[in-house]
Amino acid sequence: MTSSADLPDFAIEVRGLKKTYAGSKKAPPKVALKGVDLVVPRGSLFGLLGPNGAGKSTLINILAGVVNKSEGEVRIWGRDIDAQPRAARAALGVVPQEIVADVFFTPREALEVQAGFYGVPRGERRSDELLAALGLSDKANAYVRALSGGMKRRLMVAKALVHNPPVLILDEPTAGVDVELRRQLWEYVRRINAEGVTILLTTHYLEEAQELCDTIAIVNRGEVVVSEPTATLLRRLDTRNVVVTPDAPLPAPPALRGLQVAARPNGAFAVTYRLGEGTVEQVLAAVRAAGVGIKDIATEDPDLEDVFLALTYGDPSRPSPTAD
């Protein structure tokens, strides 16, 4: 019998993970992961963010068992990938970034073949349930090559779930996917997460990570820059923007002493101030003192994009330290 006491605290546990890709005659060795420590709590919907080349795919591919690590320890559902590779892999479903279409199978066959690959007994297979859950029932017997891109992507999610893994990794699942499909996919991801599946997803859609994920880790240049609950991460950025629409067109946004000013579309400009060091009133006074009449204002809270930029590229709203 399984009680929650038997379940691991962390669905994924990564300690001191390093990866250097071997060089070739033309290219020197490439360090992709410099020593990553990361824990994904059981039950979480965890977002892994990072710029291109940060090391996200390398990390995911090591978890999935398709890239060998150079150093470090990895456990999936408490199972060490070196000591118990099969058991570790059985606990994991992976939806890869690229669409891989099984052109010779129908969706139902593709799921059956995948289930066979994982050794799921016939009586325990749930191909039809997965097809229904992902809105593919009426395509169950169609040629996969006749499916739209969105349907193929949903089929890949179904394939990753045939063996009922407690942990699901989605590698950029909504890249190039239309808004409606993205919404459906996220709805499904939320649902299975609520049913207990731990989700790790990588995405470039920062807004979505912010909306969807309870915990977010940011990876940059092979290192984890930060890993914490989404709300904590957002609180790190103690700035606000005031977006001002002037009452007459300006040749350029005004320069305001001690404040960061950035142009916005349609002649508007955003003024960033630090909480505790300024107020909206002071910003507006500075704008008026610069001779700008105000037609309209709006205030903005920081979003993940701001946090991300601040953590990975240095905070542009913070004055750089003077050299004297």
Ligand X SMILES: Nc1ncnc2c1ncn2[C@@H]1O[C@H](COP(=O)(O)OP(=O)(O)OP(=O)(O)O)[C@@H](O)[C@H]1O
Q: How far is the CB of 77 from ligand X (least distance, A)?
A: 23
30 in contact with ligand X (CB under 6 A): yes
CA–CA distance, 56 with 61 (Å, rounded to integer): 9
Q: In what order do the strands lie in the sheet with 239-246?
A: 260-263, 269-274, 239-246, 294-300
206, 308 Cβ separation under 8 angstroms = yes
Q: How far is the CB of 214 from ligand X (least distance, A)?
A: 22
Q: Terminus-to-terminus CA distance in the chain, angstroms?
A: 68
50 in contact with ligand X (CB under 6 A): yes
Q: Which of 54, 212, 259, 292 binds ligand X (CB under 6 A)?
A: 54
Q: Provide the sign of the torsion angle of the four alpha carbons 87, 215, 200, 227, taken in this order.
A: negative
User: Which residues from 241-300 bind ligand X, rule CB under 6 A?
Assistant: none
52 in contact with ligand X (CB under 6 A): yes
* DSSP string covering 261-291: EEE-GGG-EEEEEEBTTB-HHHHHHHHHHTT
21 in contact with ligand X (CB under 6 A): yes
Residue closer to ligand X by CB (options 22, 179) is 22
Q: Draw the binding track, 56-75, toward ligand X (x: CB under 6 A; -: no contact).
A: xxx-----------------
Q: For residue 318, give the 3-state DSSP assignment.
A: coil
Residues paired with 218 in a beta bridge: 49, 226
Q: In what order do the strands lie in the sheet with 10-21?
A: 30-41, 10-21, 71-76, 79-80
Residue closer to ligand X by CB (options 40, 259) is 40
Q: How far is the CB of 57 from ligand X (least distance, A)?
A: 3
Q: How far is the CB of 67 from ligand X (least distance, A)?
A: 8
Q: How far is the CB of 69 from ligand X (least distance, A)?
A: 12
Q: How far is the CB of 130 from ligand X (least distance, A)?
A: 27
Residues that bind ligand X (CB under 6 A): 21, 30, 32, 50, 52-58
